[in-house]
Structure 1
Amino acid sequence: MAEEEVAAPIRRVLLISAGASHSVALLSGNVVCSWGRGEDGQLGHADAEDRTLPTHLSALDGHDIVSVTCGADHTTAYSDSRLEVYSWGWGDFGRLGHGNSSDLFTPQPIKALHGLRIRQIACGDSHCLAVTMEGQVQSWGRNQNGQLGLGTTEDSLVPQKIQAFQGESVKMVAAGAEHTAAVTEDGTLYGWGWGRYGNLGLGDRNDRSVPEKVSLSNSEKMVMVACGWRHTISVSSSGQLYTYGWSKYGQLGHGDFEDHLVPHKLEALSDKFISEVAGGWRHTMALTSDGKLYGWGWNKFGQVGVGDNVDHSSPLQVKFPHEQKVVQISCGWRHTLAVTERQNVFSWGRGTNGQLGHGESVDRNIPKIIESLSVDGSSGQQIESSKVDPSSGKTWVSPSERYAIVPNETVQGQTSVSVGGNGNDASVPETDVKRVRV
């Protein structure tokens, strides 16, 4: 496949989103770019190649995309004019919402969501949720711990409406590895799914298969919520930040490594007004109303962005060139993205698959500008163009074909090989072999 650089007009970065090891950006002019790990098709370029530079996702040209959201190894986008949600990438457990578990290497519309006016989409490790403009919630994908909120623990291959929110108007949702949180228009906080670390905020370590209200001691109204892998972050109407759940790496920010089973106010930032929060696999970022960014938690790859690779259990400020103010953030599993008011995009953390967008596979522990997406970039927004005709290549892979060669032990201790490709899912491993990467 030939790739070439194409001159692009100066475009503003409207949205950024980070997955496990890939990144996506929406630029003005409805241009979508993706980069990083591509093995599962999550970049949408009709192949399984990694990209170390932001690459124009031409398959979405002309679709009037207004939002993009990364799951761990899959991606979604929404077209406001077409009223379509598109998804692509790793398809196990039905996380793409197309009624099967096949991988998709180019964006495809989710039929069950056609015609819905979508306010927000949240993607966790293996499940997704969509909030409609009317405040209703649809969920789909993996559900072994009840994270879909449907009252069952059965996976859902297509979006289903969460009936428990009947009569409620949901403002936003957030998805972790196997748990989910939501905030309603009246400021009520909900949690459901996997609760082993107190990450539901309900005072215990039990799972919930339907949304349950989180009690707050001071009756504060919540306006924002985000999930890390096993922890949750919420922000009140007064700009105060609360965290709860797993804190083995200090990701709750309270100066210790203790789990919290209910929302716990982050005193270290109590004099700040928090305007945005994001949760990574084991780290957390918070943006203040005056454009300052703070990070804490697991920092093995420098994803906290403070110049070292040491875990931090309390918030530290992330520094940017010329003291630029930050206006948007997103956490991947081991990397972080930020947009400044000067329309520059920065990234830091793990770069093994090119997810930092710097044209290399190097880790960074301080913010580094992504040249091709930034007004101050020396390359003048020269965005890589992936010239692929989706009709000429394979756009999907069935699970049986993906895991076509599966060793089977024999009584003699030798290994035989079963070859799939017959259209069923018999060869798919029972265990999720790709769940955790170090």
Structure 2
Amino acid sequence: MQEVEATTASPPPPRRVLLISAGGSHSVALISGNVVCSWGRGEDGQLGHGDTDDRLLPTQLSALDAQQIVSVVCGADHTLAYSESKVEVYSWGWGDFGRLGHGNSSDLFIPQPIRALQGLRIKQIACGDSHCLAVTMEGEVQSWGRNQNGQLGLGTTEDSLVPQKIQTFQGVPIKMVAAGAEHSVAITENGELYGWGWGRYGNLGLGDRNDRCIPEKVSVDCDKMVLVACGWRHTISVSSSGELYTYGWSKYGQLGHGDCKDHLVPHKLQAFSDKLICQVSGGWRHTMALTTGGQLYGWGWNKFGQVGVGDNVDRCSPVQVKFPHDQKVAQISCGWRHTIAVTEKDNVYSWGRGTNGQLGIGDTIDWNYPKIIEALSVDGSCGQHIESSNTDQLSGKTLASLAERYAVVPDEAAPVANSGSLDRLDLSVPESDVKRIRV
């Protein structure tokens, strides 16, 4: 009798994290197979799981399982995703000022498509604190959300509850946009740099501290710009020759020039004179830059360890972030107080503020050096097991408004009366910019 050779099923290929994005206190990832995961702070619905619960571990956003998502991006307290095949942009989370683009200020706890963008083929999306920008394949820019300082580029200071085209860029194809707390930046296909919105720290790069309601061209001493990113109130750009430029607010050294001086125009970072930069990201008050060789550098505010160099000391010059086995980094994203990186070995690491689980490692502890997110990493010991949110796909389910629940900016303590110390709060934050918390 012929022996039948026993066969065993081969294990499925490991999931790869294709994209990561970090927000105010939450994070999202796009995994191979068009799977979207989110974790961290959920009180405004920014995780998309149909509730206001925090998640300490990456959780599959099942409402988007059938939508074939190809990109995801976090705002401070809201999230956007794009489906190339369905030609739809989805948004969810905190809805104040119209930042979700649905024509109202309602919160959404399940992703919903933005009707005004339906059918527009999107090249890139950027989210700031309370506004959003989207670049179409044709190079046009749509903007919506809060606009008190002109950050929408529409020539007014009125909020827009739905996306509107920025007319200044008519006939000027845009390659890439970035959004800070209240300012916006764009790079044209020809490498020209534009800035608009809130400019009090010189973060528009226009040589003064004035706001702009329409995009204005920035003068730079290089051939062309190819990359741009925004921190809360600073800006980072990279030239075609790999040189890094920063400008704007530098109270915590987030510009990286060795001091804490603001710069009103793009200023080349001399610390990288012998390196080529291929990726940049800005946090609330810190900055990350990735070299073509896969080395990651961080600087700026480091109170929660978000720079990732093993301590909590602010840095005004770049310091290299070390990873186990000297892994090279492939992708980086700064949240307001935390940072996430993907290495070339398909491992995902996070560090910084962890109070809402935004690090994705199962606890609420701050870490000042890279900590592996095992559920998303090839080298994770838990076999890449990811929980599902089990919400109905795009059911439209929403929760009661949290409009009456207000408090100070999360993670910051309110100043004590007559204490003589106001270091915990930035006094330049408008009084109306309070955030809701669960009570």
Picking from 377, 383, 406, the partner of 2:380 is 377
Give the conservation status (yes or no) of the 8 Å contact 1:199–1:231.
Answer: yes
Letter in 2 for 1:95: R
Picking from 295, 298, 303, the partner of 1:292 is 295
Question: Aligned residues: percent identity?
Answer: 80
Residues 254, 391 of structure 1: alpha-carbon distance in 2 compared, 3 angstrom cutoff:
closer
Are 2:404 and 1:403 aligned?
yes
Give the conservation status (yes or no) of the 8 Å contact 1:347–1:370.
Answer: yes
The equivalent residue for 2:355 is 352
Letter in 2 for 1:282: R
Measured in 1, the distance between the counterparts of 2:192 and 2:211 equals 19
The equivalent residue for 2:419 is none
Letter in 2 for 1:177: A
Give the conservation status (yes or no) of the 8 Å contact 1:8–1:381.
Answer: no
Are 2:247 and 1:256 aligned?
no
Residues 405, 197 of structure 1: alpha-carbon distance in 2 compared, 3 angstrom cutoff:
closer
SS at match of 1:403: coil
Deviation sequence 1:184-242 (CA, Å, 0-9, x none): 000000000000000000000000000000001x2430000000000000000000000
The equivalent residue for 1:83 is 87
The equivalent residue for 2:434 is 433
The equivalent residue for 1:232 is 235
The equivalent residue for 2:283 is 280
Picking from 242, 245, 248, the partner of 2:248 is 245
The equivalent residue for 1:109 is 113
Are 2:79 and 1:92 aligned?
no
TM-score, with length taken from structure 2 = 0.90
CA drift of 1:292 comes to 0.2
Measured in 1, the distance between the counterparts of 2:79 and 2:145 equals 13
Letter in 2 for 1:20: G
The equivalent residue for 1:413 is none
CA drift of 1:433 comes to 1.7
SS at match of 2:66: coil
TM-score, with length taken from structure 1 = 0.90
Residues 325, 120 of structure 1: alpha-carbon distance in 2 compared, 3 angstrom cutoff:
same
CA drift of 1:392 comes to 8.0
The equivalent residue for 1:159 is 163
The equivalent residue for 1:170 is 174
SS at match of 2:386: strand
Give the conservation status (yes or no) of the 8 Å contact 1:104–1:397.
Answer: no
Unaligned runs of 5+ in 1: 1-6, 407-428
CA drift of 1:389 comes to 3.4
Measured in 1, the distance between the counterparts of 2:406 and 2:144 equals 29
Deviation sequence 1:298-351 (CA, Å, 0-9, x none): 000000000000000000000000000000000000000000000000000000
Give the conservation status (yes or no) of the 8 Å contact 2:99–2:161.
Answer: yes
CA drift of 1:48 comes to 0.1
Letter in 2 for 1:100: N
Picking from 163, 167, 187, the partner of 1:183 is 187
Deviation sequence 1:96-140 (CA, Å, 0-9, x none): 000000000000000000000000000000000000000000000
Are 2:339 and 1:320 aligned?
no
Give the conservation status (yes or no) of the 8 Å contact 1:8–1:382.
Answer: no
Deviation sequence 1:67-86 (CA, Å, 0-9, x none): 00000000000000000000
Give the conservation status (yes or no) of the 8 Å contact 1:13–1:28.
Answer: yes
Measured in 2, the distance between the counterparts of 1:140 and 1:383 equals 33
Measured in 2, the distance between the counterparts of 1:195 and 1:82 equals 37
Give the conservation status (yes or no) of the 8 Å contact 1:102–1:396.
Answer: no
Q: Which range is displaced more, 8-17 or 22-31?
A: 8-17
Picking from 53, 59, 62, the partner of 1:55 is 59
CA drift of 1:277 comes to 0.1
Measured in 1, the distance between the counterparts of 2:332 and 2:431 equals 35
Unaligned runs of 5+ in 2: 1-10, 408-429
Measured in 2, the distance between the counterparts of 1:131 and 1:245 equals 24
